[in-house]
A and B are shown apart, each in its own frame.
Chain A
């Protein structure tokens, strides 16, 4: 425990020092607060945005709804909602297509050229088209996120199916499996380490795309909020928003990593 504490103290020394210097410089008035607001001002803004704006009124809403009525909480939920829906659409399409492409040579030969042409186009380059196709609001945003999540999951699923060790297939055939059982009980689980690596990359891409798409197509969400703050030159609010984006990203990645560890509990430290 004490070594942990020591490591924590050591690790936080540099950031703390930086914040202290930053605060001092800002308070001394050497830099305009529009260019670089003091960290204390950022924290205050962050807290303000997190907390409910109005006083609690039992007549109009429940306590829970009130507690989550802060602007930043709303924005975070809006962003998270888009990431989740977009990711589920993208990964939900990529998984079956990837399984098919990995397992079936003809499907691979048919679809691979198209994949190779589309894959290098960054999802962000689809913004103009997505607005033309879907207008404004959630649909173009979800489309872009789905696109961002689609390719990493697809590529890893294909690779995962192709690398399945032949010995598992032989053992399964020996036990008398049919094609369907072979696929669902052997090939799919054997490919999960690859697929989940793709999921992690895919959700990271989805999170990048959500922030960008919110700067263009919608009027809420964390990405929208920091762009809006720029128009008023509220740089403290911009940085507070960035802080929120970082924390949400960390939360998503931690959750996915936990899920990975649970699903791959059979795999860690596996030696051959």
Chain B
């Protein structure tokens, strides 16, 4: 039974002089516990779709339901990890993780226990009383993940969470995320523009087209985990998806050239 359902979703952004159709005819079903990547070049609407599921920016047409209920706004049942981390810089690591639980008015002892457990789980124990400014990018993203895990939401939304990290830290966190996902059984919707990242992580890759954002290919990944990025099947898929994504990237580049010419 699908947990997240998008049916006939449209999103149009209106500015003074033009309209941009960011999403068009999106039909997507994501099962409970599935790891799905939204893949495409910038401007393909993958973040728009994620924000619509998160409830930050609702669709202008169609409907998105989560567990059968239409999405009407953001909520802790769909925890979001942002590319910019979005940690509260005035709170320590432990306070950041505890915040969502304090909002839910959980008992103090329970909050303390959950925070300790998450600090342990994400190897953050030595950083519990540090402020975000004292942490590296990778560490900050661990805290952001812990903050969302604290909510114990069934769904995790991730908006290019590892985009700003160096390649080694990135792989490290990808492995960690897979470990957490296998252990906790969350549904993950993960936005990325990295083909390799999507193949490394996902059960399913949804490739999106550049404006209007539609679904170009819904690709199941059957390579057994842990996946070897230098393996044959991996590279086959990488070549295939690379071709699809680059077509869209080309349209994106052409469009930019056109806009530049008009200016």
Give Cα A161 to B175, complex, Å. 39
Are A266's CB and B133's CB within 8 A?
yes
Interface size class of B (residues with CB under 8 A): 20 to 34
Contact between A176 and B88, CB atoms less than 8 A apart: no
Interface of chain B: mostly helix, strand, loop or mixed: loop
Asked whether, in the complex, the Cβ of B99 is within 8 Å of the Cβ of A175, the reply is yes
A167 nearest in chain B by CB position:
B86
Report the nearest B residue to A173, measured CB to CB. B74
Q: Is B84 positioned at the interface, with any CB of A under 8 Å from its CB? A: yes
A44 CB within 8 Å of chain B: no
Which segment, of A106-114, A121-129, A183-191, faces chain B? A183-191
Query: What's the least CB distance linking A265 to chain B, in Å?
Result: 7
The interface residues of chain A lying within 8 Å CB-to-CB of B86 are 167-168, 170-171
Within 8 Å of chain A (Cβ to Cβ): is B191? no
Interface hits, B82-131 → A, CB 8 Å = 82, 84, 86-91, 99-100, 103-104, 131
Q: Among the interface residues B75, B76, B103, B147, which one has the most CB atoms of the partner chain A within 10 A?
A: B103
Whole-angstrom distance between the Cβ of A269 and the nearest chain B Cβ? 6
State A53–B116 Cα separation when bound (angstroms): 62
Contacts of A186 in B (CB 8 A): 88
B151 within 8 A of A: yes
Q: How far is the CA of A190 from the CA of B151 in the complex (A)?
A: 23
* Total contacts A-B at CB 8 Å: 66
A192 to B56: give the CA distance in the assembly, Å: 26
* CB proximity of B75 to chain A, nearest CB, Å: 6
Q: Does B40 contact A (CB under 8 A)?
A: no
Q: Is A174 an interface residue (CB 8 A)?
A: yes
Decide if A270 is an interface residue (CB 8 Å cutoff): yes
Contacts of B208 in A (CB 8 A): none
A178 to B236, CA, bound (A): 49
Q: Does A181 touch B at the CB level, under 8 Å? A: yes
B213 at the A/B interface (Cβ < 8 Å)?
Answer: no
In the complex, how many angstroms separate the beta carbon of A20 from the nearest chain B beta carbon? 48
**Residue contact A176 to B133, C-beta cutoff 8 Å:** no
Which of B73, B80, B88, B91 has the largest number of chain A CB atoms within 10 A?
A: B88
B79 in the interface (beta carbon within 8 A): yes
The answer to whether residues A171 and B80 also contact, given A265-B131, A271-B133 and a CB cut-off of 8 A, is: yes
User: Chain B: which residue is nearest A188 at the CB level?
Assistant: B90
B76 x A174 contact (CB < 8 A): yes
The smallest beta-carbon distance between A271 and chain B, in angstroms, is 7
Q: Is the beta-carbon distance between B54 and A174 smaller than 8 angstroms?
A: yes
Digitize A8-52: 1 where CB-to-B-CB distance is under 8 Å, 0 elsewhere: 000000000000000000000000000000000000000000000
In the complex, A175→B73 CA distance in Å?
12
Please determine whether B82 and A167 come into contact, CB atoms closer than 8 angstroms: yes
What chain A residues lie within 8 Å of B147 (beta carbons)?
175
Contact among B78, B91, B103, B131 with A177 in the assembled complex (CB-CB below 8 Å) = B103
Which residue of chain A has the shortest Cβ distance to B101 in the bound complex? A175
Contact B103 A171, beta carbon cutoff 8 Å: no
A119 at the interface (CB under 8 A from B): no
Q: A230 at interface (Cβ–Cβ under 8 A)?
A: no
Q: Assuming the A-B contacts A171-B80, A181-B103, are A267 and B89 also in contact, with contact meaning beta carbons closer than 8 angstroms in the complex?
A: yes
Interface residues of A in 233-249 (CB under 8 A from B): none
Q: Cβ of A170: which chain B residues have Cβ within 8 Å of it?
A: 56, 74, 80, 82, 86
Cβ-neighbour of A176 out of B54, B91, B104, B131 (below 8 A): B104
Does the CB pair A167–B84 fall under 8 Å?
yes
Report B-chain residues with C-beta under 8 Å of the C-beta of A269: 133
Q: Which residues of A contact B (CB under 8 A)?
A: 167-168, 170-178, 181, 185-186, 189-190, 192, 265-272
**25 A-B pairs whose Cβ atoms sit less than 8 Å apart in the complex:** A167-B86, A170-B82, A170-B86, A171-B86, A171-B88, A174-B54, A174-B76, A174-B79, A175-B99, A176-B75, A176-B103, A176-B151, A177-B103, A181-B103, A185-B99, A189-B88, A190-B88, A190-B90, A192-B90, A265-B131, A266-B90, A266-B131, A266-B133, A269-B133, A270-B133
